[in-house]
Structure 1
Amino acid sequence: MLSLERDGFTREEVLRALTSERRFLKFRYELLDSENTKKRDLDEVLGGSVEHDTLAAMKRTAKFDIRDNGGIDFASDRIKPWAMLEMPNGRWVSWPLGVFLLITPNRKTQLDGGVLRNIEAYDLSKVLADFKFDDRFIIKKGEKYTAKLADLLVAAGIPRRWHNITDSPTTAPEDRDWPPDDDALKIAHEILGAINYRSLFFDGEYAVAVPYIAPDQRASEHVYADDEWSVIFPEVDQSLDYFNVPNRIILFVSEPDRNPIRSVWENTNPNSPTSYPNRKRWIVKKEAVDAPNQAILDAMAARMGEEVSQIFEIVNLETAIMPFHSDADVYTLRFSALGIDHKYSETAWGFDLSPGAKMRHSIRRVVSV
């Protein structure tokens, strides 16, 4: 989550303003050039929306309705929306909602003679998805994965000043390469997967790479509760996902110049309804992966066991717009009508860029391993 403490106000002051019945939220927009340098404030935006999907390769998307007056270069300009909250003393605090590349839309005339564009937009991961190397991208034996990730981002057009990469000392045990047909975003995700990091995401204009930590091992960053300060709307949907849950994970590394290594994770917990003792059969997921050593391969197998060999409780809810959400946020939900009081990991969120709009959340937690 983005920090609530900002612009000289404490976390508690901002949270009180966000949950106040008198809260006032508005949006502003900046037009940026291809270097993410502000060109001007953008007054032509009539509305739009922002969506974030943690499970997608390109995680954040947006839509904008823009009055076309010829002042935007759709080939290279970018839009940076901000959510702004008025504080009790009349000052404002704000959160960036992303930097978005524009997909040139059709133009549509209006009754007043104006021209409207309905624009689809993607965060800066689109730069990586569109970039391919002339030759094979290579990580040589002994080179650090995170250093090579930074090199890849720079080559694709994401300069180092836009990087927020947690350094890892892990080095490649052998040469690893990708063919020219693989785009830079795919390579970036695979580099991070090899060292058990979360997939790459953009938080505002920064490319973020951080180690994976299971949600149940992360601290809750916020609490949504149906109390006197509640921002939760009453329609909350809760379900359990049991479908096709594996209980045995086999990961292996098999490369010509390396001794093969293998790791197995098994669900033998008698308290789990999807375990071998309860199903009396194995449902196996087997996959070849890239891992530099046995320890990381074991960690990857344990992570996959946690992620795909579990039962998830899935909750969909709506709140007032809370503009500090980021990627895979972990927070607590307390909702008395369904007896909910647990910590969840967020898989998706989104809202219309309109004061008074509802914010959509999809969250999940592990019920039984």
Structure 2
Amino acid sequence: MTVQRASARLLAEISRSHEVYSYVDVISPTQERRRLPATGGEVGVDRTAAIRRTCKATCIDPLGVLVPSGTDSLLTPYGTELRPYRGVRYAPTPEHPEGETEVVPLGVFRLSKVTIQDTTGGSPDIQLEAYDLSRTVARDKFTSPYVIATGTNIIDAIKAILERTFPDLSYDSISTTRTTTAPRLYDVGDDPWEAVTVLAQTLGCDVYFDVEGWVVIAPPVDIDALPAPEFTYIEGERCTMLDLSRVFTDEPGHNGIVLTGESPGDELPAVRAVAWDEEPTSATYHLGPYGEVPQFITDQLIKTQEEAQATADQLLQNLLGFSSQLSISSIVNPAFEAGHVVEVVRARSHVSGLYAVDAFNVPLSAKGTQSLTLRQKRTVGGE
């Protein structure tokens, strides 16, 4: 068995009739590991949500060894982790008469709720609910005043807060020279995950736990900078798209950022930067009929005009495209990540463009379909 990001072979396999293979690994606080077949449930991912990944799974325990008998059992919400996987079982070959399998990870979750459904004549169903590790950070509220000292590197400050809860995290992070210009104080009861989210936003970055449980601190993908999409839904043979709906809305509809850097704690004057949708072909071009709809942001970590403008430009990229949203259902691709870029072409709905994946689900059963929420940034071949 191979556990990895999706191979070209897997992506080709899911575009035709295939056998779904999924399971959930259950890991205790002492690293005891058990595997449960998944018969239902799904992983949900939403880039715009405070907790990016959620998991609901229905599993069976034919031998009855994992049905909880008390609070010290493995399947109880007191530190147990879930790691769900989904993939395919390939057709049998002489080398692999039972069919080779390939799966991709769907996230690392802390178990939150367990429900046992025991009916006459069958094995008990175990229903699991779990959230990615950001919820654990958020629940680990500051119990005493927490201070980030003047001159602390922003990435180091984020890591220090996260390591209160998880001392041994791995990171996939940008680097920065930006530091705090004054002490930042968090009160008793403040939310540490909200604190790191705001710190990351100062750098124009998202912060989240990825499918392997690593902390990612990085700007969202810039569609305009990509040479090609990660996946395509182009009508015709082997298109896995089942249906679509298209929505045009002016909510939230921001097409500009007005950012003020106050930089308390030093003698530098406040700085101000403005970034607008400057693309004349864009529906939200600020000098076009749409007008100007700015979002105002104050950031106490920014102290130079250069930092202010770079942050405003990045935050604007995160906003653009929400006015043109597309929802599609399709055959399941388990390898998606929020922020991936897909190409969608459907002539009769006048859809042809590149879209960023903002939200999606991955069913754990073979019967489920995948729903994706997309936002458009530009048309194929656009500048």
TM-score, normalization by structure 1: 0.85
Residue number in structure 1 paired with 2:100: 91
| 1:19 aligned partner, one-letter code | S
Q: CA deviation at 1:278?
A: 4.2
1:17 to 2, 7, 13: 13
Residue aligning to 1:40: 34
Indicate the SS of the match to 1:58: coil
Kept in 2, the 8 Å contact 1:138–1:177? The answer is yes
The answer to whether 1:154 aligns with 2:152 is no
Q: How does 1:45-60 map to 2 (within 5 A)?
A: 45-60=38-53
For residue 260 of structure 1, what is the aligned residue in structure 2? Answer: 270
- Which secondary structure does the structure 1 equivalent of 2:176 belong to? coil
DSSP-derived class of the 1:122 partner: strand
Amino acid aligned to 2:377:
V
Partner-residue secondary structure (3-state), 2:204: coil
Between stretches 249-258 and 178-187, larger displacement belongs to: 249-258
Change (3 A) 1:131 1:30: same
Give the share of equivalent positions with the same residue, in percent. Answer: 18
The structural deviation recorded for 1:95 is 0.5
Residues 1:118 and 1:243: Cα distance change in structure 2 (over 3 Å): same
C-alpha separation in 2, matches of 1:364 and 1:14: 26
Q: Following the alignment from structure 2 to structure 1, what is the Cα–Cα distance between the partners of residues 322 and 142?
A: 40
For residue 236 of structure 1, give the secondary structure of its aligned residue in structure 2.
Answer: strand
Distance 1:33 1:263, change over 3 A: same
Question: How far apart are the structure 1 equivalents of 2:252 and 2:34?
Answer: 51
SS at match of 1:95: strand
Q: Match of 2:152, SS? A: coil
Residues 269 and 277 in structure 1, CA contact (< 8 A), matched pair in contact too: no
**Residues 356 and 377 of structure 2 are in contact (CA less than 8 Å); yes or no, is this contact kept in structure 1?**
no
| Offset, 1:39 | 1.5
Tell me how far apart the structure 1 counterparts of residues 221 and 340 of structure 2 sit (CA, whole Å). Answer: 12
**Deviations for 1:210-234, whole angstroms, at most 9, x for unmatched residues?**
234433223422222223121111x
Cα separation, 2, equivalents of 1:252 and 1:66? 51
Q: What pairs with 1:230-309 in structure 2 (closer than 5 Å)?
A: 230-233=239-242, 235-243=243-251, 245-258=253-266, 259-266=269-276, 274=284, 277-279=287-289, 282-292=292-302, 293-308=304-319
Counterpart residue number, 1:352: 363
Letter in 2 for 1:69: V
Measured in 2, the distance between the counterparts of 1:229 and 1:60 equals 29
**Which residue of the partner structure matches residue 8 of structure 1?**
none
The structural deviation recorded for 1:65 is 2.6
The code of the aligned residue for 2:147 comes to: I
Question: Does the alignment pair 1:218 with 2:226?
Answer: yes
Choose which of 305, 320, 328 in structure 2 pairs with 1:317: 328
CA distance in 2, matches of 1:244, 1:144: 32
Give the 3-state SS of the residue equivalent to 1:324 in structure 2: coil
**3-state secondary structure, aligned to 2:207:** coil
CA distance in 2, matches of 1:180, 1:3: 40
- Unpaired runs of at least 5, structure 2: 61-65, 94-98
> How many residues matched?
357
Structure 1 alignment gaps of length 5 or more? 6-10
Question: What is the root-mean-square deviation of aligned Cα atoms in Å?
Answer: 2.9
Alpha-carbon shift at residue 341 of structure 1 (Å): 2.3
**Distance change in 2, residues 1:232/1:307 (3 Å):** same
Q: Structure 2 CA distance, aligned partners of 1:270 and 1:228?
A: 36
CA–CA distance in 2 between the matches of 1:256 and 1:147?
20
TM-score, normalization: structure 2? Answer: 0.82
Does the Cα contact within 8 Å between 1:262 and 1:297 map onto a contact in 2? Answer: yes
Alignment CA distance shift 1:351-1:280 (3 Å): closer
2:55 to 38, 55, 62: 62
Q: What corresponds to 2:25 in structure 1?
A: 30
Per the TM alignment, residue 106 of structure 1 is displaced from its structure 2 partner at its CA by 5.0
